[in-house]
Amino acid sequence: MNDQGSLFGGYLLKWIDEVAYITACIEHPGNRFVTIALDNVEFNHPIALGEILRFAVTETRKGNTSVAYLVEVFGEKVARDAGTVLFATHITFVNLDNTGRKAPIK
């Protein structure tokens, strides 16, 4: 947390990368995914100390070698309007073979 009691954005981005990676591996097992892009990183709502976060991960595109997800972050503890998205971004993974080259998703 920063000195104002809000979550540092880098921690949120780390969690988004992790939860989306886990989703990609579960939905497309047997692949070797790496993160290649995060779109529109804009923090519009502070995340306060004690907030319980819920991550919703939805596949938005699957190509031959890459897959993209929309990740939405909701707060479940601090009083807000129901359904308020605290943060959202698209994240893209590419599948690599053993030599580090793009490979078709299995």
Q: What confidence tier does 76 reach under pLDDT thresholds 50, 70, 90?
A: confident
pTM score = 0.92
| Residue 38 near residue 13, CB atoms below 8 Å | yes
Contact in structure between 57 and 68 (CB atoms under 8 Å): no
- State whether the Cα torsion 73-90-45-83 is positive or negative: negative
Residue 102 resides in a domain: no
The answer to whether residue 1 is domain-embedded is no
Give pLDDT tens digits for 43-55: 989 998 888 999 9
Domain membership of residue 3 (yes or no) is no
Domain total of the chain: 1
- Please give the mean pLDDT across all residues of the chain: 94
Give domain status of residue 103, yes or no: no
The CATH number linked to 23 is 3.10.129.10
The CB density around residue 84, as the number of other CB atoms within 10 Å, is: 10
Q: What is the pLDDT of residue 79?
A: 59
pLDDT digits (tens, 9 = 90+) for 57-71: 999 999 999 999 999
The parent domain of residue 42 ranges over 9-95
